[in-house]
Structure 1
Amino acid sequence: MPAVQTLAVFVSERWATVLISVLVLASAVFLPKVADFLRISRIPLIAVDLGNSEKRRQAYLTGARKLYNEGYRKFKDGVFRITTSRKDEIIVLSPKFLPELKKLPDTIVSMSAAVDDAMEVKYTKIDTTVPIVPHAVKADLTPSLSRLNPTIAKEVQEALDLEMPPADNWTEIDIHHMLLRVVAMVSGRVFIGPELCRNEQYLESSINYTMDVMAAQRAVQQMKPWLRPFFASSLPQVKRLDQRIKEAEAFLFPVIDQRMKAAKEPGYEKPDDLITWLLERRPNFPDEKSQNLAKVQLGVSFAAIHTTTLTATNAFYDIAALPDFVRELRAETQAALAENDGVFTSNALQSMKKMDSFLKEVLRLHPATMASFQRKVLQPFTLSNGQFIPAGVTIEVPAVAVNSDDEIFEDALKFDPLRFYRLRQSAKEAGSVEGAALNQFVSVSQNSLTFGYGRHACPGRFFAANEIKMILANALQKYEFKNTDGSTERYPNIEFAHMSIPDMKRKLLYRNVRS
Structure 2
Amino acid sequence: MSSSMSLHAEKKTTMFQNFQLSLGLVGILILIHYLVARVFRSRDAVRLWAKLETVGVPSDGIFPLTRAVIQSIASLQKNVHYGYNEICKTKNRPFALQTMWTGGAIVVLPPSQVFNILNKPDSEVTGFNALLDTIQLPYMISDREVYQNVIHFDVVRKKMTKRDIGSLAPTTAEEIDASLRESWGTSTEWKCLNGWDACGRIIAQATLRVLIGLPLSRDEALLEQSRLYSNSLFAGNTIINCIPPFMRPLIGPLVALPTKFYQYRCQRILTPFVQERIASWKETGESDNMPNDFLHWLIPSCAEAGPGQLDASRIAMRLLALNTMFIFAMGYVFAHCVFDLYSSPSTHEFVSDLEAECRKVWGDHHGFSTKEAVECLHRIDSAVRESMRISDVGVTNLPRDVVSEAVDIGHGVQVPRGVRMVFPTQPIHLDPEHYKNPLRYDAFRFLRDAQGVVQLGQQEKGDQSLTSVSPSFLAFGYGRHACPGRWFVAQTIKQALASVVLNYDVEMVGKAVRRKAFLNMMVPPTDAQIRIRRKPRQVIA
**TM-score, normalised with respect to structure 1:** 0.86
2:202 pairs with 1:198:
no
Aligned partner of 1:500 in structure 2 is 522
Q: Is the 8 A contact 1:60 1:83 kept in 2?
A: yes
The answer to whether 1:360 aligns with 2:380 is no
Alignment of 1:303 onto 2:328: no
Amino acid across the alignment from 2:93? G
CA distance in 2: counterparts of 1:409 and 1:366, whole angstroms = 14
Deviation, structure 1 residue 323: 2.6
- SS of corresponding position for 2:434: coil
Show the counterpart of 1:471. 496
CA contact (8 A) 1:130 1:296 kept: no
The residue number in structure 2 matching 1:262 is 280
Amino acid at match of 2:83: G
Q: Who is 1:119 aligned against? A: 135
Moved more, 187-196 or 221-230: 221-230
- Equivalent position of 2:72 in the other structure: 60
Which residue in the other structure is 2:197 paired with? 177
Give the structure 2 partner of residue 131 of structure 1: 150
CA separation of 1:404 and 1:327: change in aligned 2, threshold 3 A: same
User: Which residue type is aligned with residue 427 of structure 2?
Assistant: A
Residue 480 (structure 1) aligned to one of 505, 508, 524: 505
Check conservation: 1:132, 1:290, Cα contact below 8 A.
no
Query: Cα deviation per residue 1:248-275 (whole Å; 9 max; x = unaligned)?
Result: 3322222122122223446771100000
Is the 8 Å Cα contact of residues 329 and 354 (structure 1) preserved in structure 2? yes
Where does residue 360 of structure 2 map in the other structure? 335
Question: What is the aligned length?
Answer: 479
Residue type of the partner of 1:176? W
In structure 2, the gaps of 5 or more residues are: 1-38
Specify which of 484, 491, 504 is matched with residue 459 of structure 1. Answer: 484
SS in 1 for 2:116: helix
Cross-structure match for 2:316: 294
1:440 to 465, 468, 477: 465
Give the alignment partner of residue 83 of structure 1, picking from 74, 98, 103: 98
Map 1:340-419; keep pairs closer than 5 Å: 340-379=365-404, 380-419=406-445
Question: Structure 1 stretch 305-314 or stretch 191-200: which is displaced more?
Answer: 191-200
Separation (CA, whole Å) in 1 of partners of 2:112 and 2:137: 31
Q: Is the Cα–Cα contact under 8 Å of residues 130 and 289 in structure 1 kept in the other structure? A: no
Q: Are the structure 2 counterparts of residues 288 and 368 from structure 1 closer, same or farther at C-alpha, using a change threshold of 3 Å?
A: farther
- State the alpha-carbon separation in 2 of the partners of residues 393 and 68 from structure 1: 18
Match of 1:251 in 2: 269
Structure 1 residues 495, 294: closer, same or farther in 2, change over 3 A? same
Deviation at 1:55, TM superposition (A): 3.5
Deviations 1:276-308 (A, max 9, x none): 000121133349678621110010011000011
- Matches of 1:400 and 1:287, distance apart in 2: 44
Distance of 1:71 and 1:90 partners within structure 2 = 13
> 2:415 is aligned with what amino acid?
I
Is 1:42 aligned to 2:42, yes or no?
A: no
Query: What residue identity is the alignment partner of 1:383?
Result: I
1:27 paired residue number: none
Letter in 2 for 1:201: A
Three-state SS of the structure 1 residue aligned to 2:76 is: helix
1:364, distance to aligned residue in structure 2 (A): 0.7
Which residue does 2:339 correspond to in 1?
317
Displacement of 1:206 in angstroms is 1.7
Structure 2 counterpart of 1:103, from 104, 115, 119: 119
Deviation at 1:184, TM superposition (A): 1.3
Query: By how many angstroms is 1:418 displaced?
Result: 1.0
- The correspondence for 2:177, drawn from 157, 165, 184, is 157
Counterpart-to-counterpart distance in 1, 2:237 and 2:516: 16
Is the 1:209–1:244 Cα contact (8 Å) retained in structure 2?
Answer: yes
* Residue from 248, 255, 260 that aligns with 1:242: 260
Amino acid at match of 2:525: D
- Structure 1: 5+ residue runs without aligned partners? 1-29
Aligned to 2:187: 167
Contact 1:310-1:501 at 8 Å conserved across structures: no
Write the distance in 2 (CA, Å) between the matches of 1:282 and 1:427. 51
The aligned amino acid for 1:49 is P
Q: Where has structure 1 moved over 6 Å in runs of 4 or more? A: 287-290, 424-429, 431-434
The one-letter amino acid of 1:100's match is N
Inter-CA distance 128–90: structure 2 relative to 1 (3 Å threshold):
farther
Question: For the residues of structure 1 that align with 2:203 and 2:266, how far apart are their CA atoms?
Answer: 18
Q: Is the 8 A contact 1:78 1:94 kept in 2?
A: yes
Task: Give the direction of change, closer, same or farther, for the CA distance of 1:245–1:169 in structure 2 (3 Å limit).
Answer: closer
Letter of the structure 1 residue corresponding to residue 173 of structure 2? A
Q: Deviations over 1:89-133 (max 9, x none)?
A: 310001111211123221221110111222234544465454312
Equivalent residues of 1:337, 1:344 under 8 A apart: no
Q: Is the 8 A contact 1:349 1:466 kept in 2?
A: yes
- For 1:4, the equivalent position in structure 2 comes to none
Q: What CA deviation, in whole Å up to 9, does each residue of 1:140-196 have, x standing for no partner?
A: 133432122112101110011010112333221112112222211110000011131
Instruction: After TM superposition, give the deviation of residue 427 of structure 1 in Å.
Output: 13
How far apart in 2 are the matches of 1:78 and 1:287? 50
Contact 2:469–2:477 (CA under 8 A) maintained in structure 1:
yes
Relative to structure 2, which stretch is displaced further, 299-308 or 252-261? 252-261
Do the aligned residues in 2 keep the contact of 1:50 with 1:56 (CA within 8 Å)?
A: no
**1:50 positional shift:** 6.4
Say if 1:409 and 1:208 are closer, same or farther in 2 by CA, change over 3 A: same
* Residues in 2 aligned to 1:287 and 1:118: alpha-carbon distance in whole angstroms: 30
CA contact (8 A) 2:448 2:454 kept: no
CA distance in 2, matches of 1:106, 1:265: 39
Which range moves more in the overlay, 262-271 or 317-326?
Answer: 262-271
Q: For residue 58 of structure 2, what is the amino acid of its counterpart?
A: D
Q: Secondary structure at the match of 1:83?
A: strand
If you compute each CA radius of gyration, which structure gives the higher value, 1 or 2? Answer: 1
Q: Distance in 2 between matches of 1:381 and 1:129?
A: 25
Q: Which shows bigger deviation, 122-131 or 401-410? A: 122-131
2:237 equivalent to 1:221: no
For 1:313 and 1:438, the matched residues in 2 are separated by 25
The residue identity in structure 2 corresponding to 1:251 is I
Give the Cα separation in 1 of the matches to 2:160 and 2:83: 39
Deviation at 1:451, TM superposition (A): 1.2
